[in-house]
Amino acid sequence: MNVPGICAVIGSGTMGPGIAALLARHGADVRLNDISREALDRAESACTAAAGALDQLGTPVTEGGSVSFELDAAAALDSAELVIEAVPEEIGLKRRVLEQIEAAVGTDVVIATNTSGIPISDMAAAMEHPQRLIGMHWSNPPHLIPMIEVIRGERTDSAVETATVAIVEALGYKAVMEKEVPGFVENRVLYAIMRECLSLLEQGVATQEDIDTCVKWGIGYKLAVIGPMRLLDMAGLDIYSSVSGYLNPDLSDEKGISPMVTKLTEQNRLGMKTGDGMYPYAEGEVAAKRTDILRGLVTVRKALSEITPV
Ligand SMILES: NC(=O)C1=CN([C@@H]2O[C@H](COP(=O)(O)OP(=O)(O)OC[C@H]3O[C@@H](n4cnc5c(N)ncnc54)[C@H](O)[C@@H]3O)[C@@H](O)[C@H]2O)C=CC1
Ligand SMILES: Cc1ncc(C(=O)O)c(C(=O)O)c1O
């Protein structure tokens, strides 16, 4: 299966532009929609940057692809063969947007949601044709992380799942098919790591710099080559049993949001998008960090593509 010829991406904040740029790279006529003119203006340069990263990666260009920027949702959705919803993670808003999408496209059109982890069945509750809604969870930055989680809701048609997996594979990405649980697989694992790291920082066990160094080199580097299930075999299940026996009861079981994150959020210190967060950023540093991150991800992905899968 090829990538559908006409795609609509609804919401053009952090995720929409990278998704649109990758679809366009594979030949699609992509309409990127947002309710904010400013967001669409920012999206134009984000799409250009994403295309530059795809050039660095050597991703071939399929002729005929383009991205257009649409304030008018109806124009974006007109004749769309695939719709990807990427509006903020708020169930009420997502339900309203899905209602608007479903009223504008044919019943055979796949409607995918990029939710970070809201169960698909909860989002489909008010839909007239819930069989065509599917979770298609891209990882940030979506034009570079070559894996997408595909999550069926209780009423999703199996043909919609098959079609979505085929689209993911046509993009050259790996599809991971899952049953729905809040957070899906990726964010359950990521948020377990984040919870523990934030707890260690709040307890003063290590600085944020040292926590980042430990996780990047001690865990991240290794996990990019060996998945956690295989790592258990490499370490030895007897070792895992001994360590988890005394360690698991001591790990963070914080049920709420980290107090440190709550305080920073209340101060509008949201990270790179506001120029201050877990780290402070000097003038020009956010752009430099973003460039370093993209360059690093391109380099590591190229290296990983050359190794034998473990
Ligand atoms: N930021 C991340 O790292 C990741 C986010 N996600 C998920 O993707 C979705 C989008 O996330 P972000 O791009 O980070 O959000 P964002 O807040 O950066 O962008 C969302 C955009 O949607 C627009 N929007 C709001 N209401 C709209 C409507 N009715 N119609 C059209 N556009 C509308 C906003 O103006 C904004 O530009 C969320 O569900 C999020 O949880 C998934 C993977 C990673
Ligand atoms: C902090 C954080 N939260 C959610 C996601 C997501 O996948 O939905 C990501 C990501 O990197 O993709 C993330 O970093």
Nearest in space to 12 (alpha carbons), one of 97, 131, 80, 129: 97
In this structure, the residue with its CA closest to atom 5 of ligand 2 is: 116
In this structure, the residue with its CA closest to atom 12 of ligand 1 is: 14
Q: 186 in ligand 2 pocket by Cβ < 6 Å?
A: yes
Tokens of 218: 């001690």
* pLDDT at residue 126, rounded to an integer: 85
**CB contact at 8 A, 110 and 132:** yes
Instruction: For the chain, 310 residues long, give each residue's pLDDT as a single digit of tens.
Output: 789 999 999 999 999 999 999 999 999 999 999 999 999 999 999 999 999 999 999 999 999 999 999 999 999 999 999 999 999 999 999 999 999 999 999 999 999 999 999 999 999 998 999 999 999 999 999 999 999 999 999 999 999 999 999 999 999 999 999 999 999 999 999 999 999 999 999 999 999 999 999 999 999 999 999 999 999 999 999 999 999 999 999 999 999 999 999 999 999 999 999 999 999 999 999 999 999 999 999 999 999 999 998 9
Calpha distance 113→102 (Å, rounded): 12
Is 29 known to sit in a ligand binding site? no
**CB contact at 8 A, 103 and 76:** no
Enter the DSSP assignment of 160: H
> How do the residues of the chain divide into helix, strand and coil, expressed in percent and rounded to 5?
50, 15, 35
Which residues, listed in sequence order, are joined to residue 68 by a DSSP beta bridge?
31
Is 116 known to sit in a ligand binding site? yes
**CB contact at 8 A, 232 and 240:** yes
Q: 116 in ligand 2 pocket by Cβ < 6 Å?
A: yes
Q: 6-182: which CATH number, 3.20.20.370, 2.40.40.20, 3.40.50.1220, 3.40.50.720? A: 3.40.50.720
CA-115 nearest atom, ligand 1: 39
- Identify the CATH class of 185-305: mainly alpha
Q: What separation in Å is there between the alpha carbon of 194 and the centre of ligand 2?
A: 11
* pLDDT at residue 193, rounded to an integer: 98
Is 14 known to sit in a ligand binding site? yes
In this structure, the residue with its CA closest to atom 1 of ligand 1 is: 14
**ipTM entry:** 0.98
In this structure, the residue with its CA closest to atom 6 of ligand 2 is: 116
Domain locations in the chain as residue ranges: 6-182, 185-305
In this structure, the residue with its CA closest to atom 36 of ligand 1 is: 13
Strand, coil or helix: what is 296?
helix
* pLDDT at residue 209, rounded to an integer: 98
CA-85 nearest atom, ligand 1: 9
Is 11 known to sit in a ligand binding site? yes
